[in-house]
Amino acid sequence: MPSEFDLINQHFTHATPCTLLGIGDDAALIKPSRGRVLAVAADMLVGGRHFFTDADPESVGHKALAVNLSDMAAMGAVPRWATLGIALPNADERWVAAMSKGFMALARKHGVDLIGGDTTKGPLNLCVQIIGEVPARQALRRDGAKPGDDIWVSGTLGDAALAVAARNRNIKLKPAERKLAQQRLDWPQPRVALGLALRGVARSAIDVSDGLLADLGHICERSKVAAVVAMERLPVSPLMKRYRDVPAAQAALLGGGDDYELCFTAAPAKRAAVESAALRARTTVTRIGRVIRAPAGVCSVAVVDRDGLPLSVQQKGFDHFG
């Protein structure tokens, strides 16, 4: 059975061209570019909680980095460095090799250096810390939304949570449909290019990881505003469109999480700039609502039907302790 250091040396020691000192010492040494500040985030993926333990290990490695890249996208930051902590029930080299393949393929695609981490025995768990760079005054934040802003979202919503609902037998999908939904769950595509293109255009941004309503709610709370979202405007895939009226699908669409799209606000005068940014990033964006003043100081998100009437929404988003 390989040792901890055998696994590190064989699967996680790679060239780090953007790093002063990488894996092999007590700490890495990095140097930010002139005029930039560091954006730092961390996400933990726990087996059985954030991914099914029988998932393709290559997809697990991809997702572990992708969810962190999504945080960089939401800040308008260029991802540069990452650390990876792993707890494994046993030293399964085949599983580690496949997981590393998925992680490193995405790291190379986005120019991210893996500069350190830790490996230990324990319940299956991957924890990634990512560090990026952004000009200080161009960072996208959650606290910049203003009343009157448009609310936008990238891509489509709900398919990943639809896969979870199918796995939990809350909805029945055909085999081909389930495969499509599972692809969205296991292989999220972080919108890094869009985040960079939205610098100077968007007033606020967040990645949709815990569900649209929950994450848009975070923007509202930080910006001291409220929001109104039009249900019929939410962008959906052909798969979600087929099941949109099913309660489990509606819950997935509004609060299921795991989309890793960007939700952001921008002034109406910036609509052409938003469309241009999306074109440069080669993704779609959809205007789904508007920011309003918080009534009586309540920073809430309302969902309305095509006639502008409020809809009752039960599921607000994923809660790790819910």
Ranges of each domain in the chain: 4-138, 150-304
pTM of the model: 0.91
Q: Looking at residue 21, what DSSP letter applies?
A: B
Say whether pLDDT at 6 is over 80: no
Looking at per-residue confidence, does 206 or 29 come out higher? 206
> In the β-sheet with 113-121, what is the strand arrangement from edge to edge?
36-46, 125-135, 78-88, 113-121
Say whether pLDDT at 38 is over 70: yes
Residue 295, both tokens: 């009534």
Q: How confident is the model at residue 4 (pLDDT cuts 50, 70, 90)?
A: low
pLDDT tens per residue, range 119-139: 889 999 999 999 999 998 899
What 3-state class would DSSP assign to 5? Answer: helix
Q: Write down the mean pLDDT value for the chain.
A: 91
Q: How confident is the model at residue 53 (pLDDT cuts 50, 70, 90)?
A: confident
Section 277-284 average pLDDT:
98
Say whether pLDDT at 321 is over 50: no
CATH architecture of 4-138: 2-Layer Sandwich (3.30)
CATH architecture of 150-304: Alpha-Beta Complex (3.90)
What 3-state class would DSSP assign to 115? Answer: strand
CB atoms within 10 A of CB 118: 12
Q: How confident is the model at residue 8 (pLDDT cuts 50, 70, 90)?
A: low
Residue % of the chain over a pLDDT of 70 = 90
Closest CA to 316 of 239, 212, 233: 212
- DSSP strands (E only) in the chain: 36-46, 78-88, 113-121, 125-135, 150-154, 204-208, 225-230, 261-266, 285-293, 301-304
Residue 124 sits at φ, ψ, to 5 deg, of -55, 125
pLDDT tens per residue, range 164-180: 999 999 999 999 999 99
Residue 115 neighbours by CB under 8 Å, 6+ apart:
16, 19, 22, 23, 28, 30, 81, 82, 83
| pLDDT at res. 51 | 84
**Four-point Cα dihedral 230, 223, 318, 166, nearest 10:** 30
